[in-house]
Homo-oligomer: A and B are copies of this chain.
Amino acid sequence: MPVTIYDIAKTASVGVGTVSRVLNNHPNVSPKTRERVLKVAHELNYQPHAFAQGLARKKTNTIAAIIPFFTNYFFLEVLQGIQDKILTLGYDIMLYGLNENDPEQFESYLLRATQKGRADGVMLFSLRLPEFFAQKYKHINQPMILVDCAHQDFDSITVDNRAGAYAATKHFIDLGHEKIGMINANPISPPAQQRFEGYKAALTENGLSFNQNFYKSSKIMKYDGFSREAGYVSMMEVLDLPKDERPTAIFVSSDVQAMGVLSAMRDHNLQAPDDIAIVGFDDIELAQHIGLTTVSQPMYEMGVLSVGRMLDRLANRNGAVTHTSFTPKLIIRETCGQLKTKLAAVDE
């Protein structure tokens, strides 16, 4: 039933080699034969068998993507970038979506994605690569590129969390704030650490000192503390402080957390930016709906770029490992407020 190149060969009275050559645009086949074969192929409604091609070519034309489906939808836009780029290049995407932060499931996906003959390469998103796996994997001749996470032995594309956090904090300083706090996710997460560093650097490099009372990090493990609940809890702690000991502005390490922060404020009948100014991080879709000032990452571009890296790597397996970092940019909306002086003028 399914038509193969043998059927074409027979019908067009040529050899299978010739058919293959025509189909793959190899030179060295006369125009008349080429045309005849093409005609027959079309008439028979021929479709190449993907797996057979893959087997013979030792190439799957597929790349695997392991993506955390939970938290912040960061991946979604990156995925869109990848999608657009990759399909124009004739590759397909094999999707492995983690629904929760389960190391076992992660590993099983990793194993599966890296199975021989399944995909030409794998892309890993926002997931910490277990060291033992990295070691094991290095010897396999299959490229892996890391997006929003890093490992010295593999190509990576990341966002400069430190710079983003710095920009957010600096913005508060420029607005005239002096009591600037931060609500962080769980510090075991590298991005959380980096964002904290940026925050601290902005403070100290601009003549403000780091005040432990204004800094809350989460101990919640789920989603590494990048959750609405974590933000809520931390903000509640902040609001336990007497009114005049509270920070006047808070940089929150993610937009989802900022959602929780905002809820906590509402529960205390407080408003951003009037009572406390807020800046988030990520620029999830929600952010624009609620007017959250936040730090935006060029997600789509990261996706596109990561595909480029993958192809480079596929073409040249032994090139030097590269690490690319994008600088995120501050998107100013309502929750950060305006210049303090201006505000004061209006208020009083």
Residues of A within 8 A of B (CB): 1-2, 47-52, 54-55, 60, 62, 65, 69, 73, 76, 79-80, 83-84, 87, 92-97, 99, 108-109, 112, 115-118, 141, 228, 259, 285-286, 289-290
Q: How many angstroms between the C-alpha atoms of A251 and B49 in the bound complex?
A: 50
Q: A55-B55, A115-B47 are in contact. Are A80 and B69 (CB under 8 A)?
A: yes
Determine the chain B residues whose CB is within 8 A of the CB of A55 once the complex forms: 49, 51-52, 55
Shortest CB–CB separation between residue A87 and chain B, in angstroms?
7
Q: From residue A132, how far is it (CB to closest CB) to chain B in Å?
A: 14
Contacts A/B (CB < 8 Å), 10 sampled: A47-B115, A48-B116, A51-B51, A51-B54, A51-B117, A55-B55, A69-B79, A94-B94, A94-B95, A95-B95
- Chain B residues lying within 8 Å of A112, measured Cβ to Cβ, are 87, 92
Residues of B within 8 A of A54 (CB): 51
Q: Is the CB of B116 within 8 A of A47?
A: yes
A76 to chain B: which residues have CB within 8 Å?
69, 73, 76
B94 touches A50 (CB 8 A): no
Shortest CB-to-CB span from A198 to chain B, Å, is 26
Q: B residues within 8 A CB of A1?
A: 141
Q: A141: which B residues are within 8 A, CB to CB?
A: 1
Further 17 A-B residue pairs, CB within 8 A, beyond A50-B115, A93-B94, A289-B290: A47-B115, A48-B117, A50-B118, A51-B55, A55-B55, A69-B80, A73-B76, A79-B97, A80-B99, A83-B99, A87-B108, A92-B112, A93-B95, A93-B96, A286-B286, A286-B289, A290-B290
A226 to chain B, nearest CB (A): 14
Instruction: Give the interface centre of A48, A99, A141 by most chain B CB atoms within 10 Å.
Output: A99
A96 to B94, CA, bound (A): 9
Residues of B within 8 A of A96 (CB): 83, 87, 92-93
Q: For A47, what are the chain B residues with a Cβ–Cβ distance below 8 Å?
A: 115-116
Query: Closest CB-CB distance, A50 to chain B, in whole Å?
Result: 4
B residues within 8 A CB of A118?
Answer: 50-51, 92
Q: Which residues of B contact A116 (CB under 8 A)?
A: 2, 47-50
Which chain B residue shows the least CB distance to A118?
B50
Kindly state the separation between the CA atoms of A289 and B87 in the bound complex, as whole angstroms.
35
Which of the listed residues A55, A76, A290 has the most CB atoms from chain B within 10 Å of its own CB? Answer: A55
Q: Which residues of B contact A51 (CB under 8 A)?
A: 51, 54-55, 60, 117-118
Task: Give bound CA distance, A60 to B80, whole Å.
Answer: 25
Residues of B within 8 A of A83 (CB): 69, 95-97, 99
Closest B-chain residue to A79, C-beta based? B97
A228 to B290, CA, bound (A): 13
The minimal Cβ–Cβ distance linking A212 to chain B, given in whole angstroms, is 30
A82 — nearest CB in chain B belongs to which residue? Answer: B97
Q: Which residue of B80, B92, B99 is within 8 Å of A94 (Cβ)?
A: B92
In the complex, residue of chain B having the shortest beta-carbon distance to the beta carbon of A65 = B95
Interface centre among A51, A80, A116 (most CB of B within 10 A): A51
The 8 A-B pairs of least Cβ separation, nearest first, read A49-B117, A95-B95, A50-B117, A50-B118, A51-B117, A51-B54, A47-B116, A83-B97
- Are B84 and A99 within 8 A (Cβ)? yes
The minimal Cβ–Cβ distance linking A166 to chain B, given in whole angstroms, is 28
